[in-house]
Amino acid sequence: MNTRSDELTKAQQAPRWGAPFLAGANRPIVLPALSVPFPVRKNPHHATVRDRTRDWLVASRLIDDPQRLERMDDADFTGLSARAFPDACAEDLFLLDTFYLAYFIFDDQFDEAAGGHAQVRYKVQAALRLMRLQSADSGDAHGAAEWVLRQSWDALRQQMPISWQRRFLKHLAAYLRSLLRSPQSPVDLVAYLQTRRDNGGLETSFDCIELANRIVVPERFHASYLDRLLRQAANDAACLFNDIYSYDKERRCGKTDNAVAICAQLLNEDPACAMQFVGNLAMTRVDSFCQAKAHLPDALKTGRYTHVEQTAILRYVNGLECWMSGLLDWSRLSPRYRESPDGRGLGSNTTD
């Protein structure tokens, strides 16, 4: 028996932990050493767009409380957009940044669901009426967040072909409808991940890769099994990253709709062990993405794509990588998931 080899194997298989996170009831919870094999790149227009977005936020009156405006500054949502879309021009980055900020604020309204499920349904149905190809009237909006989301959508759709618009709206509608699903329903991990692909909002984010890079990916590639594998793996990895970093904040709010909480219940383990399990699962999904990407050269060849189409597909797949690496890097640096003075999200102060 090669003892040295066995020890090396065990060392390689041992879980790698990151820095201490936030304390649980009896023991500290630490983050897994998450990583992706893709570089982090930040858009050079980050600082300029961040200032412009802040001016837009104040003018739109989405947040008018100085303390929450300061928290928004600290969270640096533009930093996420800049990492997710590193090659976008300044105007496109601003367009995407304002859309995602409205997205974040709209989503944060449901973190506490203070108005109950009926209130959630009312807001979601109002948003569904607004988000369509035709023009909309501000009277359909329940509050400022929904209407700003619609205005941002109008600006986005003017830049892209109708096929992209339909695909984007399909994914956005799936996200909105996912908010109506009761978090109290019994769920297993597979069912949770399937739902998470919708309520994480990443499908629309992946659609925006084409806008940010000014490319049009052929619809037949989007309809392919390979693209499905790539998107699902990237979506799962990014959502699991988010669940890991947001776990403690959501636990304090009493939310159980989180992969760490679900695994702790299913495995009958404490949160620290569940955190390790979810971290390993996230890394497995990153590996799945890389394995699927290895088939891309053959797919481009057999699919008889033109040179322009191949270039667009390669840039799109790189955009999926940017979303994974960018979200992970931003989550490490942003205080969004740290404890706020009142334990409330940004959206709790939206003007309705």
Look at the block and give the residue holding tokens 């940004």. 346
Q: What are phi and psi of 142, to 5 degrees?
A: -80, -30
- CA–CA gap between residue 98 and residue 244 (Å, rounded): 26
pLDDT at 223: 97
Strand partners for 17: 32
- CA–CA gap between residue 167 and residue 225 (Å, rounded): 16
Given 1.10.3720.10, 1.10.600.10, 3.40.640.10, 3.40.50.620, which CATH number is that of 42-349?
1.10.600.10
CB atoms closer than 10 angstroms to residue 171: 19
- CA–CA gap between residue 79 and residue 266 (Å, rounded): 35
Q: Which of 111, 108, 74 is nearest to 250 (CA)?
A: 111
pLDDT at 149: 77
- CA–CA gap between residue 313 and residue 227 (Å, rounded): 10
pLDDT at 124: 63
pLDDT at 284: 98
pLDDT at 66: 83
pLDDT at 334: 82
Q: Which long-range contacts (CB under 8 A, 24 or more apart) does 253-257 make?
A: 253/111, 253/112, 253/343, 255/111, 255/183, 256/183, 257/183, 257/192
Please state the domain extents for the chain.
42-349
Strand partners for 20: 30
Q: Is the dihedral of CA 128, 129, 134, 139 positive or negative?
A: negative
pLDDT per residue as tens, the chain (352 positions): 443 333 333 333 333 334 444 444 445 678 898 999 999 999 999 999 999 999 988 888 777 778 888 888 888 999 999 999 999 999 999 999 998 888 777 776 655 444 445 555 655 665 666 666 555 554 554 566 677 777 888 888 889 999 999 999 899 888 888 877 655 554 688 888 988 999 888 999 999 999 999 999 999 999 999 999 999 999 999 999 999 998 988 787 777 789 999 999 888 878 889 999 999 999 999 999 999 999 999 999 999 999 999 999 999 999 999 999 999 999 998 877 665 444 443 333 333 3
